[in-house]
Protein backbone atom coordinates (compact mmCIF):
# COMPACT_ATOMS: atom_id res chain seq x y z
CA UNK A 1 0.00 0.00 0.00
CA UNK A 2 1.37 3.41 -0.99
CA UNK A 3 0.77 6.97 0.18
CA UNK A 4 -1.61 7.83 -2.65
CA UNK A 5 -3.87 4.95 -1.57
CA UNK A 6 -4.06 6.22 2.01
CA UNK A 7 -3.87 10.00 1.76
CA UNK A 8 -6.66 12.51 1.86
CA UNK A 9 -6.62 14.75 -1.20
CA UNK A 10 -8.85 17.52 0.14
CA UNK A 11 -5.98 19.15 2.01
CA UNK A 12 -6.84 22.10 4.22
CA UNK A 13 -3.88 24.45 3.92
CA UNK A 14 -2.78 28.05 4.16
CA UNK A 15 -0.62 30.15 1.89
CA UNK A 16 2.61 31.74 2.97
CA UNK A 17 0.94 35.17 2.85
CA UNK A 18 -1.75 34.33 5.43
CA UNK A 19 -1.81 35.31 9.10
CA UNK A 20 -2.01 33.24 12.26
CA UNK A 21 -5.58 34.58 12.54
CA UNK A 22 -6.40 32.64 9.36
CA UNK A 23 -4.62 29.54 10.72
CA UNK A 24 -6.56 29.66 14.00
CA UNK A 25 -9.80 30.12 12.07
CA UNK A 26 -9.10 26.97 10.04
CA UNK A 27 -8.07 25.05 13.17
CA UNK A 28 -11.43 25.91 14.74
CA UNK A 29 -13.60 25.49 11.63
CA UNK A 30 -12.15 22.11 10.64
CA UNK A 31 -11.27 20.83 14.14
CA UNK A 32 -7.63 20.24 13.19
CA UNK A 33 -4.32 21.03 14.82
CA UNK A 34 -1.90 21.52 11.95
CA UNK A 35 -1.72 22.82 8.40
CA UNK A 36 0.69 22.70 5.49
CA UNK A 37 1.83 26.10 4.26
CA UNK A 38 2.14 26.42 0.48
CA UNK A 39 3.30 29.01 -2.03
CA UNK A 40 1.35 30.15 -5.09
CA UNK A 41 2.47 27.02 -7.01
CA UNK A 42 1.06 24.73 -4.28
CA UNK A 43 4.58 23.77 -3.23
CA UNK A 44 5.08 22.95 0.43
CA UNK A 45 7.13 25.68 2.13
CA UNK A 46 6.36 25.12 5.84
CA UNK A 47 4.05 23.49 8.36
CA UNK A 48 2.22 25.21 11.22
CA UNK A 49 0.82 23.33 14.20
CA UNK A 50 -0.93 24.17 17.43
CA UNK A 51 2.38 23.39 19.15
CA UNK A 52 4.16 26.13 17.19
CA UNK A 53 1.52 28.62 18.29
CA UNK A 54 1.67 27.38 21.91
CA UNK A 55 5.42 27.95 21.95
CA UNK A 56 4.89 31.53 20.77
CA UNK A 57 2.12 32.49 23.20
CA UNK A 58 3.49 30.54 26.16
CA UNK A 59 5.34 32.19 29.00
CA UNK A 60 8.97 32.57 28.02
CA UNK A 61 10.49 32.95 31.46
CA UNK A 62 9.87 32.07 35.09
CA UNK A 63 8.86 28.48 34.29
CA UNK A 64 10.65 25.61 35.94
CA UNK A 65 10.12 22.09 34.65
CA UNK A 66 11.63 19.40 36.85
CA UNK A 67 12.71 15.93 35.76
CA UNK A 68 9.23 14.52 36.36
CA UNK A 69 7.59 17.09 34.06
CA UNK A 70 5.79 18.94 36.82
CA UNK A 71 5.56 22.59 35.94
CA UNK A 72 6.07 25.21 38.60
CA UNK A 73 5.13 28.67 37.45
CA UNK A 74 6.28 31.76 39.24
CA UNK A 75 3.43 34.30 39.19
CA UNK A 76 3.68 36.54 36.14
CA UNK A 77 1.63 39.33 34.62
CA UNK A 78 -1.59 38.01 33.02
CA UNK A 79 -1.60 40.89 30.54
CA UNK A 80 1.59 39.55 29.00
CA UNK A 81 -0.25 36.41 27.87
CA UNK A 82 -3.11 38.43 26.42
CA UNK A 83 -0.64 40.67 24.63
CA UNK A 84 1.20 37.67 23.16
CA UNK A 85 -2.03 36.03 21.99
CA UNK A 86 -3.23 39.29 20.43
CA UNK A 87 0.13 39.83 18.75
CA UNK A 88 0.13 36.26 17.41
CA UNK A 89 -3.11 36.78 15.49
CA UNK A 90 -1.59 39.39 13.19
CA UNK A 91 1.72 37.60 12.57
CA UNK A 92 2.44 36.16 9.16
CA UNK A 93 2.28 32.36 9.31
CA UNK A 94 5.88 32.08 8.12
CA UNK A 95 7.16 33.91 11.21
CA UNK A 96 6.45 30.90 13.46
CA UNK A 97 5.83 27.98 11.08
CA UNK A 98 8.44 25.22 10.80
CA UNK A 99 10.33 25.53 7.52
CA UNK A 100 11.93 22.08 7.70
CA UNK A 101 8.92 19.91 6.94
CA UNK A 102 8.89 16.15 7.21
CA UNK A 103 6.99 14.91 4.18
CA UNK A 104 6.61 11.81 2.03
CA UNK A 105 6.47 11.10 -1.66
CA UNK A 106 3.20 10.06 -3.25
CA UNK A 107 4.52 6.53 -3.88
CA UNK A 108 6.01 5.95 -0.39
CA UNK A 109 5.13 2.60 1.17
CA UNK A 110 2.72 2.49 4.14
CA UNK A 111 5.21 0.75 6.43
CA UNK A 112 7.68 3.61 5.93
CA UNK A 113 4.94 6.17 6.52
CA UNK A 114 4.00 4.40 9.78
CA UNK A 115 7.64 4.41 10.85
CA UNK A 116 8.03 8.14 10.19
CA UNK A 117 4.81 9.04 12.02
CA UNK A 118 5.76 6.84 14.98
CA UNK A 119 9.47 7.60 15.24
CA UNK A 120 9.20 11.34 14.65
CA UNK A 121 6.12 11.57 16.90
CA UNK A 122 4.18 13.66 14.44
CA UNK A 123 0.47 13.51 13.71
CA UNK A 124 0.34 14.22 9.97
CA UNK A 125 2.55 13.95 6.92
CA UNK A 126 2.15 16.09 3.82
CA UNK A 127 2.39 14.09 0.58
CA UNK A 128 4.14 15.47 -2.49
CA UNK A 129 4.25 14.46 -6.13
CA UNK A 130 6.67 16.23 -8.47
CA UNK A 131 7.30 18.90 -5.81
CA UNK A 132 3.62 19.78 -5.36
CA UNK A 133 1.41 19.10 -2.34
CA UNK A 134 -1.15 16.46 -3.36
CA UNK A 135 -2.37 15.04 -0.05
CA UNK A 136 -1.96 14.53 3.66
CA UNK A 137 -1.79 11.39 5.78
CA UNK A 138 -2.61 11.20 9.48
CA UNK A 139 -1.84 8.49 11.99
CA UNK A 140 -5.52 7.57 11.92
CA UNK A 141 -5.45 7.18 8.13
CA UNK A 142 -2.62 4.66 8.39
CA UNK A 143 -4.34 2.74 11.19
CA UNK A 144 -7.69 2.61 9.37
CA UNK A 145 -6.20 1.47 6.07
CA UNK A 146 -3.80 -1.02 7.66
CA UNK A 147 -6.26 -2.79 9.92
CA UNK A 148 -9.68 -2.50 8.25
CA UNK A 149 -9.37 -5.82 6.41
CA UNK A 150 -8.13 -7.61 9.54
CA UNK A 151 -11.11 -6.89 11.80
pLDDT score recorded for residue 87: 86
In the prediction, which pLDDT does 16 show? 96
Checking if the pLDDT of 93 tops 60, the result is: yes
Q: What is the pLDDT of residues 40-69, one digit of tens each?
A: 999 999 999 999 998 888 865 554 444 455
Measured at the alpha carbon of residue 102, what is the angle toward residues 88 and 57, in degrees to the nearest 5? 15
- Strands (E) across the chain are located at 14-15, 34-38, 44-49, 63-65, 71-73, 104-105, 124-129, 132-138
> Number of structural domains, the chain?
1
pTM for this predicted structure: 0.81
Mean pLDDT, residues 60-83: 54
Domain residues for the domain of 8 are: 3-147
The reported pLDDT for the residue numbered 21 is 96
Nearest to 123 by CA among 56, 59, 27, 45: 27
Closest CA to 21 of 88, 67, 118, 95: 88
Query: What's 40's domain CATH number?
Result: 3.10.580.10
Amino acid sequence: MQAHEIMKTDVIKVTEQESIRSVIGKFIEHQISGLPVVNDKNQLVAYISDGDIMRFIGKHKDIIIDTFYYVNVIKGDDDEFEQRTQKALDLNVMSIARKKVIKVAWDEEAENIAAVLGNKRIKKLPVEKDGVLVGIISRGDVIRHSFKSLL
